[in-house]
Chain A
């Protein structure tokens, strides 16, 4: 009371706020500390709502911006004077006017602009930004599938550009890239993934003109060895991605002069290059002694000869062989050759045997990350040797290693205490295994999908011991009920994502418990038939961060669940309402969530075309709507076009109504499909 009086007095005497006595520098320092915080968005918001002075200072201090809607840009620009980084990924419709405004407002400050999810701008807007924002260093134009070479002329005006992403700019050709090569001489990173119009000449010119390049992503470009000569002359190249470049092959690499350089190369990705065998690889890396990471997914078979080609790479730390045919000899040779391997990915490699894998892990005791997803031949033997050798493993992904028995997981829990990420989807793990694994107290991501043997008991162990869990996948774990979820909810306060889809015994009580997890962002309760609107309401009221919600086939959730959701979960971005009992009213109330971008509405019995039309009009920020195809004819064509012009993409699906299956029956069906 005394303090309040004092403040009031102060205000009366000076007509001033006490906070205003704090200096700008001081507040800036405080704000700097708020920066790394995960919830800085909310914190900063509360901070700026404190008083006008704070509001003004926070606006002045703000460096990064991620506007929700392009319509707000004019007001945002007026408020924040010194933005360096503007992320427009949430604005699907960004037109040239918006870009012109941005360019005008942040002439000297803007350093980074991300337009990767935006459409409706043209080369003019880009030209404007490039010309005005002299300090622009990073520009992301990915997915701008409409942009042509003329727009690249605009990009080329950004002379200080260092990083440029042009992924999926399909209409850009060599000419446009040539302009960029000449204009943006300071480029350090360029990503041309899926720019299928760009070929040798453009890439060659980039490599000739931009000598500072250190990172190039040339995935899926129709390039051949012709441009590689100049690429390998780059003095600073560290990261080269040639994924899916089918034009590059052994024959051409034989003639290639790679002698000049690329000693600096650290990461090489030739995944999907079926024409490059071990011969080509050894050519490519012949003098690149310090390669640390090799991505060879979906490539040529990993044989003994292949492993030999890695012998010179003494610095190698990471190999990705996903989807390759691998021989035992090859795997063993990898074990013998590379001394300091830290990461190994053998996902979907047929031919990985217990013997070879055991040998490999026995040599690489330092292994931190191991991915043996779908290595269906391996058994307890491998897991035992992994657990015994690789004590410092932080990530183990072993989805669908179906031959591994439940005892093996006990071993993992006993030995690998540093595990942070564990993927046991579709395995035979049981409660004892989970009890053992719960010893891995650092675990932050645990995936137990389709593990039908686990029950509440096992999940409770996890909830009790693994307090750092952020991500938990219990997809189709039918043995898990409210008890298990409540244990998780009370034991894992940091939980951000939980998937309890098709855990049919889960009720509202589980949701009441989960509402304690204030950081919950993603909730998937698909097919939880017992969950009602009340449970969802408690989640909406407490989990303010909720951004993704899947309540497909929750038949008991209706409009009464939507109204609190619309009211409290203002951060909701994505929602799946298929098969639920939500009607026009619920959908229309959801339109009040300004963040809502993405909804899926299939087989909603209570939905009328009028209600849908109203909802579509009301959701201004919608970017994607998945609807049943028969609704299309019921909606006015003009409306569809209008919504599309606002930046929304319609996905018209023609799925038949599916009745829910028994979980056991579902798994049998799945196995049938696999075999």
Chain B
């Protein structure tokens, strides 16, 4: 756990520190020295205390820095540490794909050594207990923490090593192991577990600049990835709810089932063996069965099928989506399993099927799951209070409060009422934009939940000084990001602008449905 925290902090710190460090090389070196000094082997306590994350990548073992600094374990939080990770991960990602037996051997021997080290440490602690003076309490707990952390790192290492043996499982490993799964989610990069340990050892003094370059370049896509994830959550929030946030089962602790497309879309799942009639629920089937004879009327036949109350712990079932390339597909790099069959059905319909149910009220919103439609219809039209800036309100007084507060904002009259209202024929020239307000407002208002709505708002705020140009045609077209999907990925130089954020969103999304989802949002 500590490991994750460390990387988290480091991740945040990277850009700032880069600035601090670059001008003064000495400071840099000092930092590096400190961090690496924790690692040297055979250095008694200090070595054993070294539980910095790099150690299990084999980075710290032969570091060239021999300086010995304070042995305080809190030093782990030094930012320099994480840079190593970043660098390593960047360089090793490509190598991850092919399995190298020699690397495996390396790995195993490293693990062995590691276990030995740990053994030593525990030994030492045991010895210390018999010493006359008492150790401060803090140190004891720290030691304990270090040991547990070291142990977990070993376990992880072991799992990843095992994972690299099985090509099909390898991807799931990253997602399901509690520590690394989180880590990879955060960074959006697969860590090179167990592979190429030796390459991790770098002459760090030399490559500082290179490192920063990497981190900068890496940072932006990462961010996008994060947003992307966020997007995904919006789409599949229901699944997420079912999933329990952060459920990260270790790989192999559950069995993966994958239903076929036809199976998922079948209206019925339970069929009568006699007449072949289909049912959605087995209870209904059982009720139906009663009609086929007395033997189905016994309490035993009517009872719920026994739930394997056997003592043997059954493997948890998790489901995979049959759609190739989907994040919920077991072949995906960052596979996230679905918890129940219902999840699978809803996920598949939502993500990979046509949205065939249209809201009968607004006629704009479409759904593929009927329950979603019903949920929407409950609220459809409630957000009917609309401002010219595109903001919608569920309550009229809130809208009027908003209008009273901001200069130039007016209540927007819904489209149905505006239909008859056309611009006077003789003075159309300068006002085309403003006529659009009515019609376009409505478009915006119809999907209040979409992130693009927010984006529109931002656009509008930029133009607020010129009330006539609230919705210039340019802005509106600019929102059609779906069209950009055809183009190659643009460089994310100005990642701060909402524009590129949106583009990135549409890009990183599952390639086939990306365009569709984007246009739906609009």
Residues of A within 8 A of B (CB): 100, 103-104, 122-124, 127-128, 131-132, 148-154, 156, 174-176, 178-179, 182-183, 201-202, 204-205, 208-209
Contacts and interface: CB of A to CB of B under 8 A. Distances in A.
Given A178-B400, A204-B400, A205-B400, A123 B420 contact: yes
30 contacts: A100-B426, A104-B426, A122-B420, A123-B420, A124-B422, A127-B421, A127-B424, A128-B424, A131-B427, A148-B417, A149-B413, A149-B417, A150-B418, A150-B421, A150-B438, A151-B421, A152-B413, A153-B418, A154-B421, A156-B410, A174-B411, A175-B413, A178-B410, A178-B411, A179-B410, A179-B413, A182-B409, A182-B410, A183-B410, A208-B404
A3 to B, nearest CB: 51
Contacts of A178: 400, 403, 410-411
Contacts of A152: 413
B421 A153 contact: yes
Interface string B436-461: 00100000000000000000000000
Contact of A124 (B409, B421, B427): B421
Interface in B38-63: none
Contact of A103 (B397, B418, B422, B424): B424
Contacts of A128: 424
Contact of A201 (B400, B431, B438): B400
Interface in B376-431: 396-397, 400, 403-404, 408-411, 413, 417-418, 420-427, 431
A204 B403 CA distance: 11
Contact of B404 (A131, A153, A205): A205
A174 B418 contact: no
A132 B430 CA distance: 12
Contacts of A132: 424, 426-427
Contacts of A149: 413, 417
Contacts of B396: 174, 201
Contacts of B427: 131-132
Given A182-B410, A208-B404, A124 B420 contact: yes
Contacts, number: 72
Given A150-B418, A201-B396, A204-B400, A176 B426 contact: no
A175 B426 contact: no
A581 to B, nearest CB: 49
A475 to B, nearest CB: 48
A208 B411 CA distance: 15
Given A124-B422, A127-B424, A150-B418, A174 B408 contact: no
A100 B422 CA distance: 12
Contacts of A208: 404
Nearest to A99: B424
A153 B438 contact: yes
Contacts of A103: 424
Interface string B274-293: 00000000000000000000
A174 B397 CA distance: 10
Given A148-B417, A205-B404, A175 B411 contact: yes
A624 B241 CA distance: 67
Contacts of A204: 400, 404
B403 A131 contact: no
Given A132-B426, A202-B400, 18 more contacts: A100-B425, A100-B426, A103-B424, A124-B421, A124-B424, A131-B427, A132-B427, A150-B438, A151-B421, A153-B421, A174-B396, A174-B400, A175-B411, A175-B413, A176-B411, A176-B413, A204-B400, A208-B404
A151 B413 CA distance: 10
Most chain A CB within a 10 A radius of its CB, from B400, B421, B424: B424
Contacts of B411: 174-176, 178-179, 182
Ordered nearest first, which 10 A-B pairs have the shortest CB separation?
A: A178-B411, A128-B424, A182-B410, A201-B400, A175-B411, A150-B417, A149-B413, A150-B421, A208-B404, A150-B418
A100 B438 CA distance: 21
B227 to A, nearest CB: 35
A153 B413 contact: yes
B159 to A, nearest CB: 62
B516 to A, nearest CB: 34
Given A178-B403, A205-B403, A100 B424 contact: yes
B225 to A, nearest CB: 43
Contacts of A174: 396, 400, 411
A202 B426 CA distance: 32
A131 B424 contact: yes
Contact of B403 (A122, A148, A182): A182
A125 to B, nearest CB: 9
A201 B408 contact: no
Given A132-B426, A153-B438, A201 B413 contact: no
Contacts of B409: 182
A11 to B, nearest CB: 43
Contacts of B422: 124
Contacts of B418: 150, 153
Contacts of B403: 178, 182, 205
Contacts of A104: 426
Nearest to A132: B427
Contacts of B438: 150, 153
Contacts of B423: 127
Nearest to B409: A182
A174 B404 CA distance: 13
B430 to A, nearest CB: 10
A298 B45 CA distance: 98
A131 B417 contact: no
A226 B418 CA distance: 30
A215 B422 CA distance: 32
Contacts of A131: 424, 427, 431
Given A122-B420, A124-B422, A124-B424, A150 B400 contact: no
A499 B322 CA distance: 94
Nearest to B404: A208
B308 to A, nearest CB: 61
A173 to B, nearest CB: 9
A178 B410 CA distance: 7
Contacts of B408: 182
Given A179-B411, A204-B400, A150 B420 contact: yes
A183 B403 CA distance: 12
A54 B335 CA distance: 92
A176 B397 CA distance: 14
Contacts of B404: 204-205, 208-209
A179 B431 CA distance: 17
B218 to A, nearest CB: 48
A209 B405 CA distance: 10
B426 to A, nearest CB: 6
A123 B421 contact: yes
A151 B411 CA distance: 13
Contacts of B417: 148-150
Nearest to A200: B397
A123 B421 CA distance: 6
A90 to B, nearest CB: 25
Nearest to A179: B410
Nearest to A129: B424
Given A178-B403, A201-B396, A205-B400, A150 B424 contact: no
B2 to A, nearest CB: 56
Contacts of B420: 122-124, 150
B231 to A, nearest CB: 33
A132 B427 CA distance: 8
Interface in B319-361: none
Nearest to A182: B410
Nearest to A100: B424
A175 B403 CA distance: 11
B6 to A, nearest CB: 54
Nearest to B420: A122
Nearest to A171: B417
B328 to A, nearest CB: 44
A124 B426 CA distance: 12
B440 to A, nearest CB: 14
